[in-house]
Amino acid sequence: MTRLFNDPTEFADEMIDGFVAANANQVRRVAGGVVRSTRTPEGTVALVVGGGSGHYPAFGGIVGQGLAHGAAMGNLFASPSAQQVESVALAANRGGGVLLSFGNYAGDVLHFTQAEQKLNAAGIQTRHVAVTDDISSAPAAEKHKRRGIAGDLTVFKSAAAAAEEGYSLDEVVRVAELANERTRSFGVAFSGCTLPGADAPLFTVPDGRMAVGMGIHGEPGIDETDVPTADGLAELFVESLLAELPEGISSARGQRVGVILNGLGSVKYEELFVVYRRIAALLAEAGLEVVDPEVGELVTSFDMAGASLTLFWLDDELERFWRAPADTPAYRKGSVAAVQQLDPSEIEAAQAVVIPEADVDSRQAAAVVVEAIEAIASVVDANADELGRIDAVAGDGDHGIGMQRGARAASAAASEALALGAGAKTLLELSANAWANKAGGTSGALWGVALSAVGDALGDEGRPTAESVSAGVAAAVGGIMSFGKAEVGDKTMVDALVPFRDTLQSGIDGGASLAVAWQSAADAASAAATATADLLPRMGRARPHAEKSLGTPDAGAYSFGLIVQSIAAVLAGTSEGEK
């Protein structure tokens, strides 16, 4: 378990500050993460990687010469927000375009692709490649649904080396996609990880048993077996990975492979070496030539006791990139040429927040919005443990803490914006950004979309009406469904959102006040959230464990029901004039 921390909600930020202080010759802090502190030639493609914190040395630990130009670093096990990704990409950009690369998790996909759209709109040519190396998370026929685990490194290393050689953005993307297609990983765990401040691990494994095919965020394994010997584990790893060869490779014999035996946090290096001894022998027996193997901690899961094996099937070009030199805080290979340190003034600074003018009516509405967001934070605080428990049934168990971080940040941002004279729209936009930045993950992205959409409908001028609120809710639902790609029946927040939207609209069209219509809609949402217990998930981290979730409601739908009920109480207590 984690013993050394201050305020658990500040752990990730304090960790990044300490990491930068310890590695100032290689990395520099920017809003949202870190970038190289060394000079990169103008016109070079910038590789920006990222994901949640808690996986060191991924992602900040591999920023430096020969590897990433920047890393967007989210909260613990939560993807960075689109705003954070965009900020890091702007600081890392050197005029050759930007490649965003990350593990294939719903929250990361949402945030990074949103940042990609913003960067392209700003005239910075940007592409993305999601890593899908984990063979346990989906069958070969659905490779695009697989998670990214320790194979992140092979894709990042190849793309970065191609950028160092002066490849164009299109060519760097080609290399990254080829590296991803030729990378396969498989992992096991002997115990779960415990986040700072938590009193229990995200998942548990009985003594003497091993979770097979688990994720790196605390997702349960797809199977459970007795703990084997070191040689037995090596045999399981090699047999599993050799059973699926990349497209275009008909036989393993005679092939060259990069190899990563990765420790997930608590397995000692000495144990890994014992396992690797047998892995090396098995690969040789299969006729494979191993190139520059890596044994150690490359992508961890906080203090999880576990390990994974990655095979990177090389061709001449990929082998050159795999062998290329690199010098980062946590990963070094070969010898890189000495380069100049960047002057701090050359790294783009974050812009100060500007509060647009708002009229009296909108500022009064903003005060009611602050009450509503404070109520959201309060109800999430009271139910955070239960939300985590629900999420842990088939997911990674972090929904409660993620919602808590997001709601608290949104509440603080809302109060600050109100004090600065913000109208309803601006206050909701700033709250949306704060929620997305602090919560990260899928829920952070979706709540950011929702609050922004409602803000756009309310505006910074005039008194909001029941109709404008309803229009904002409809826009929020549309944005979430477009952004997250979920539909009714997928066992997500959408299952509660749609009946809420429809009931609210129907009540207002029938002449009901906002408070009355909202309460009816909240009741419909709560009922729909409860009914998700009978559904099987078709999206997200719970999908590989669909059967386990039967009988348990979706955590996102359940939290949405709690939130809209808390807002109903605020509206019921608001004076007639404010309504």
Q: Are 452 and 473 in contact (CB under 8 A)?
A: no
Residues 6+ apart with CB under 8 A from 406: 434, 435, 436, 438, 439, 443, 444, 447
Cα–Cα distance, 537 to 293 (Å, whole number):
38
Pairing label, strands 126-131, 70-76: unpaired
545 is catalytic: no
- Cα separation of the two ends of the chain: 48
Tens digit of each residue's pLDDT (9 = 90 or more) over 479-531: 999 887 889 999 999 999 999 999 999 999 999 999 999 999 999 999 999 99
Q: Name the pTM for this structure.
A: 0.84
Supply the pLDDT for residue 351. Answer: 54
The CB density around residue 270, as the number of other CB atoms within 10 Å, is: 7
Q: Sign of torsion, CA 172 175 180 185?
A: negative
Cα–Cα distance, 101 to 318 (Å, whole number):
17
520 three-state secondary structure: helix
34 forms beta bridges with: 29, 71
Which tokens go with 194?
């415990």
Cα–Cα distance, 436 to 168 (Å, whole number):
32
Cα–Cα distance, 326 to 335 (Å, whole number):
7
Tell me which residues of the chain have a pLDDT lower than 70: 1, 218, 220, 348-352, 394-396, 539-548, 574-579
CA 151 from chain center: how many Å? Answer: 16
Cα–Cα distance, 265 to 305 (Å, whole number):
6
- Cα dist. 224→170, 448, 454, 542 in Å? 42, 37, 45, 17
- Identify residue 433 by its one-letter amino acid code: N
Structural domains of the chain in order of their starting residue, each with its CATH number? 1-131 (3.40.50.10440), 180-326 (3.30.1180.20), 360-573 (1.25.40.340)
The CB density around residue 17, as the number of other CB atoms within 10 Å, is: 12
Pairing label, strands 305-313, 289-296: unpaired
CA 383 from chain center: how many Å? Answer: 22
Say which of 55, 111, 217, 399 is annotated catalytic: 217
